[in-house]
Amino acid sequence: MNTSLRLIHALLFLTFLGLASEALAAGPTEKILYSFSGPDGSTPEAGMSFDSAGNLYGTTYWGGNPKACFSGGCGTIFALSPHADGTWSEAVLHSFDVTHGAYPDQNLIFDSAGNLYAVTDVGGGEVGGVFELMRAGSGWHYKVIHRFRDSKHDGGSPRSILLRDPHGNLFGTTAGGGTGGNGTVYELSPDGGGSWKESILLNFGGGYAPPGGAEPQAGFIQDADGNLYGTTSFGGNSACPQGCGTVFELSPNGDGTWMKRILHKFDGTDGNMPVADLVADAAGNLVRDRHRRRNVWVLRGLRNDL
């Protein structure tokens, strides 16, 4: 190769390096799909869900009807639809009020018919509720399918994303209440007539730092055998003032009852107060972070059928 060709190649290589360096320095690019203005929602705190047509569905914690909850609104359910020119349009599907639920902060989930489900920490019942947003022709119909009646009966302050099993049953947790005062695990089963039956699968024990865990705030994952896996934010041990939290498994006994097994108790050195959902990797390990991607922890080899 002559000197001229070497020089040309060298210049091209340096040009490539310069362009690559600029691209790396610029980093990822961000595109705003939609900006909320208040009446259409404000302060979205939950994640979003895609439907089969590519529309996005989510909730806002504030906004909506300004007269429903003080001056800020109780939140909304919204959809974002993409257009061929790269823009997105928003439609408000529901505005919350205290009577029928307020301040949603968990992801919406779909059923096979495209209906949406989630929880409200406040309203909908004395201490929170579970709602369904059903497709009705070209619109939507909002319905509270369960109202938490009082903290001593079936729990209160549901804060977890719902899990829907293959039979259409919904599973979730409440952060407070129940017979022990530290939260519950509940199941809602459709009766075929539009109503839902609630079953309490577990009451978390009382006390300041109960060894069996307290105040679950995360949702569940489920394995092929129907076992549920979740976390509690407190309890487990006394390494932290109220306990550092646990990872637990619930297994069906076949007679309508469930058996709990504590898989791990946090001690502060390996994290504490887990509030996010578990995920499972291909090897059956349970993986999740504490406080949304900080202090990542892994439980290895617990099951191989997740």
Phi-psi region of 300 (alpha: psi -120 to 50; beta: other; left: phi over 0): beta
Q: Is 208 left (phi over 0), alpha (psi -120 to 50) or beta?
A: alpha
Do 56 and 48 touch, CB atoms closer than 8 A?
A: yes
Q: Residue 151 — very low, low, confident or very high, per pLDDT cuts 50/70/90?
A: low
3-state SS class at 134: strand
> Which DSSP symbol is given to 233?
S
Exposure letters 1-12 (e unless 16+ CB within 10 A, then b):
eeeeeeeeeeee
Query: Kind of pairing, strands 156-158 and 139-147?
Result: unpaired
Give this prediction's pTM. 0.83
Task: Give the residue among 200, 185, 284, 188 at the shortest CA–CA distance from 231.
Answer: 185
Average model confidence (pLDDT) for the chain? 85
Rg (CA), the chain: 24
Burial (CB < 10 A; 0-12, 13-18, 19+), residue 98, is middle
CATH code for the structural domain at 161-306: 2.120.10.30
Contact (Cβ atoms closer than 8 angstroms) between residue 217 and residue 250:
no
Query: What residues does each domain of the chain span?
Result: 34-147, 161-306
Residues 6+ apart with CB under 8 A from 157: 121, 127, 128, 174, 175, 176, 177
β-bridge pairing 56-60 and 156-158: unpaired
| Residue 20 Cα to chain centre, angstroms | 38
| pLDDT for 10 beyond 60 | no
Work out the average pLDDT over 28-48: 91
| Residue 249 confidence (pLDDT) above 90 | yes
Q: Kindly give, in sequence order, each residue whose CB lies less than 8 Å from that of residue 296, ignoring residues fewer than 6 positions away.
A: 287, 288, 289, 290
pLDDT in tens, 176-231: 999 999 999 999 999 988 899 999 999 998 888 899 999 999 999 999 899 999 99
Whole-angstrom distance, CA of residue 271 vs CA of residue 296: 8
Each residue's pLDDT tens digit, 94-129? 999 988 999 999 999 999 999 999 999 888 877 899
Count the Cβ atoms, other than its own, within 10 Å of residue 223: 17
pLDDT, residue 138, reads 84
Extended strands (E) in the chain? 49-50, 56-60, 76-82, 88-95, 109-110, 116-120, 129-136, 139-147, 156-158, 163-164, 170-176, 184-190, 196-203, 221-222, 228-232, 246-252, 258-265, 279-280, 286-290, 294-299
